[in-house]
Structure 1
Amino acid sequence: MTVLEVKNLKKIYRTRFGGTQVQALSCVNFSVEEGEYVAIMGESGSGKTTLLNMLAALDKPTEGEVYLDGKPLSSIKDKNISEFRRDNLGFVFQEFNLLDTFNVKDNILLPLVLKGENYKAMMQKLMPIAKDLGIAPLLEKYPYEISGGQKQRVAAARALITDPRIILADEPTGALDSRSTDELLALFAKINQKGQTILMVTHSVKAASRAGRVLFIRDGEVYHQVYRGNMSDEQLYQKISDTLTILATGGDRR
């Protein structure tokens, strides 16, 4: 079943007075199936961030459409966009985006509080996730009292608490050390194995090599994609590295 579909997506930014135009996305087409784990890679300025903003309904395309479960995002009224994101999308950011004045438990529960769920129902959702992610002992601590890896686990729990259709991860390992990166990637693999759809934007070959499919963006369009198939993490790592070399040197698809 297709969860996310991107059709002929184009984004042109214009200067304040409409003189200069910058084409961030030219013609992007791809789809994501339920339960897939997809990584998006590309050089800085290739359009990855712009694309992620479109998928998250944080920005609107100049042309084309993004569909979630067959529903065009353009059909959602501006006043309902925040509710749509809260109910359908989970976000994991590079900088965690946790509130220092809230403890771990309240940071995770915040999306449910905004939905108006009762406390008992929230706790019934929280505890299995907290135990599964290994952060149950941290619930009463504050973000400044825990490590970067633990913060990212908290961010993952916050993303999962609403049972989202898809998790959008923006450079989730970018602020982590090697050990915490390994832990987070193992966590993402575990989450994905349980059926959670994940789409991750990353510069990290290591992170991308854990995905089931890797999309490469160049000059605002999907330049190439690699499927894991029967490849090991190490083999996929090499394949990704080879493709990035072609991207950097301006070579053709292969």
Structure 2
Amino acid sequence: MSLLEVKNLKKIYTTRLGSNQVQALSNVNFSVEEGEYVAIMGESGSGKTTLLNILASLDKPTSGEIILNGKSTVTIKEKELSAFRRKNLGFVFQDFNLLDTFSLLDNIFLPLVLAGMKYDEMVKKLAPIAVKLGIEDIMAKYPYEVSGGQKQRAAVARALITSPQLILADEPTGALDSKSTEQLLELFTKINNEGQTILMVTHSVKAASSAKRVLFIKDGEVFHQIYRASMKEEEMYQKISNTLTVLATGGEQVE
């Protein structure tokens, strides 16, 4: 059974006065298996950010269904959504979303604090994650005292510490330099190889090339997908670039 199933997803936004409607998603269908690493790409306005917000339970679809590990997220009551997100989803954002008044340690612990976990248990849970991410020596520092790459590693630790079913990453390399980007993508590959399911929205061909499958969104629908299979990263990069060219030029066929 798939970990995530997206069925006939549609999202229509109505302007404040109700005179105009904008269809952000028209008929999105795909599934993600447990342990997959999937990237979602598309031009600006294609609907990929709307899709991510709906998958994150931050927005509701106009129609359609999202099933995460057998549970429909669309029917979850508003008062239960925060607990559901905290328990099942981990988030990695382009701008890190770290609180400057909290140390990195406190930022990472925040979802566990909100869940009511005891401090000793939090420390025990973080220890192997901090070592894996190479941030055990900077836990006492504040976000403004560390580099962008270190901030993003702390953000990944915060995403992992709740043992989520799924990590949702929104342009995770967007604010990083080339070296930090390379390190983060290597990190994503490593944690995916250990079994963590990752769904990443990105504009970066480099970032998407690290995924095992790439979905392309066009006009609110899944237009095409590429499976890595035995392809090397360079070959994957070229295939993604070719598909984006077809998207940009209005073509309909992708080889």
Fold shared per TM-score above 0.5? yes
Residue in structure 2 matched with residue 96 of structure 1 by the alignment: 96
Residue pairs, 1:66-77, within 5 angstroms: 66-77=66-77
Residue pairs, 1:186-201, within 5 angstroms: 186-201=186-201
Residue in structure 2 matched with residue 61 of structure 1 by the alignment: 61
Residue pairs, 1:1-254, within 5 angstroms: 1-254=1-254
**How far did 1:75 drift?**
2.0
Q: Partners in 1 of 2:99 and 2:158 — Cα distance? A: 12
Map Cα deviations across residues 113-134 of structure 1 (whole Å, 9 max, x no partner).
0000001110010111001100
Q: Partners in 2 of 1:227 and 1:253 — Cα distance? A: 17
**How far did 1:253 drift?**
2.8
Q: Partners in 1 of 2:45 and 2:75 — Cα distance? A: 29
Q: Partners in 1 of 2:218 and 2:66 — Cα distance? A: 19
What one-letter code is carried by the residue in structure 2 that aligns with 1:195?
G
Q: Partners in 2 of 1:110 and 1:253 — Cα distance? A: 46
Q: Partners in 2 of 1:74 and 1:204 — Cα distance? A: 30
Map Cα deviations across residues 95-154 of structure 1 (whole Å, 9 max, x no partner).
000001110111100000000000111001011100110000000111010000000000
TM-score by length of 1: 0.99
What one-letter code is carried by the residue in structure 1 that aligns with 2:155?
A
Q: Partners in 2 of 1:85 and 1:253 — Cα distance? A: 37
What one-letter code is carried by the residue in structure 2 that aligns with 1:15?
T
**How far did 1:7 drift?**
0.2
Q: Partners in 2 of 1:212 and 1:69 — Cα distance? A: 20
The alignment's C-alpha RMSD in Å is: 0.6
Map Cα deviations across residues 201-241 of structure 1 (whole Å, 9 max, x no partner).
00000000000000000000000000001100000000000
Q: Partners in 2 of 1:138 and 1:107 — Cα distance? A: 12
Q: Partners in 2 of 1:138 and 1:147 — Cα distance? A: 11
Runs of 4+ in 1 over 6 A off after TM superposition: none
Q: Kindly indicate whether the alpha-carbon contact (under 8 Å) linking 1:224 and 1:253 is maintained by their aligned counterparts in 2.
A: no
Unmatched segments (≥5 aa) in structure 2: none
**How far did 1:70 drift?**
1.4
What one-letter code is carried by the residue in structure 1 that aligns with 2:220?
G
Q: Kindly indicate whether the alpha-carbon contact (under 8 Å) linking 1:173 and 1:181 is maintained by their aligned counterparts in 2.
A: yes
Q: Kindly indicate whether the alpha-carbon contact (under 8 Å) linking 1:11 and 1:26 is maintained by their aligned counterparts in 2.
A: yes
SS in 1 for 2:126: helix
SS in 2 for 1:74: coil
Q: Partners in 2 of 1:154 and 1:68 — Cα distance? A: 26
Unmatched segments (≥5 aa) in structure 1: none
Give identity over the alignment, percent.
Answer: 72
**How far did 1:196 drift?**
0.1
